[in-house]
Amino acid sequence: MLDGWARRRLDPALQRIARHLAAAGVTPNAITLAACAGGLAAAGAIALGHEWWGLALILLSRLGDGLDGAVAAIKGRTDIGGYLDIVLDFVVYGAVPLGFAVADPASNALAAAVLLFSFYANGASFLAFAILAEKRGLSSSSRGAKSLFFTTGLAEATETIAVFAAFCLVPAWFAPIAYVFAAICIYTAVSRIVLAVGTFG
């Protein structure tokens, strides 16, 4: 829901940084891989009880997620770049709740499982819609130039990053925050299913 708002405010700064990275020969795929490594390191830090380090690494990881597309816009977009971007985003989004489950299984494991289920359903609704949209030649620029068709929803990247930050800032509230965000993700998945029925039915 907030991705469009966030992009309008962050894109100018990302584009300036991207020009320097592109001039230095840094490739979009290298940034994508580094962003994923940062996200996995964040999950590891959280699993060890270092939530503040986890938060810093999450923010660096998501900065990389914004920069890879900005560099790709300069150097040229590729199918494999788009593929790696979306797949490794899902890897990071799955790893962070897992880190909290490992850190405190008694308090967090069930909430993390529910949240991961909602991510699974939401991701499936997003990717299946993108596949059929591509098949029908549909396009969208609501979230900028993307390799896949992006449908909007209540739970997007900006909301996910905000929730992950909340987890790290108040880890004792992981479970209630996770349950609320899981409900939002399920609502987003259902809304995409309804949209798909109207679009493809």
Mean pLDDT of the chain: 89
What's at 196, amino acid-wise? A
Pick from 182, 183, 146: which is nearest to 4 by CA?
A: 146
What the chain holds in terms of domains, given with CATH numbers, is 3-200 (1.20.120.1760)
For position 131, what pLDDT does the model report?
A: 86
Residue ranges for the chain with pLDDT beneath 70: 1-9, 139-153, 155
For position 136, what pLDDT does the model report?
A: 81
Pick from 53, 61, 14, 70: which is nearest to 34 by CA?
A: 61
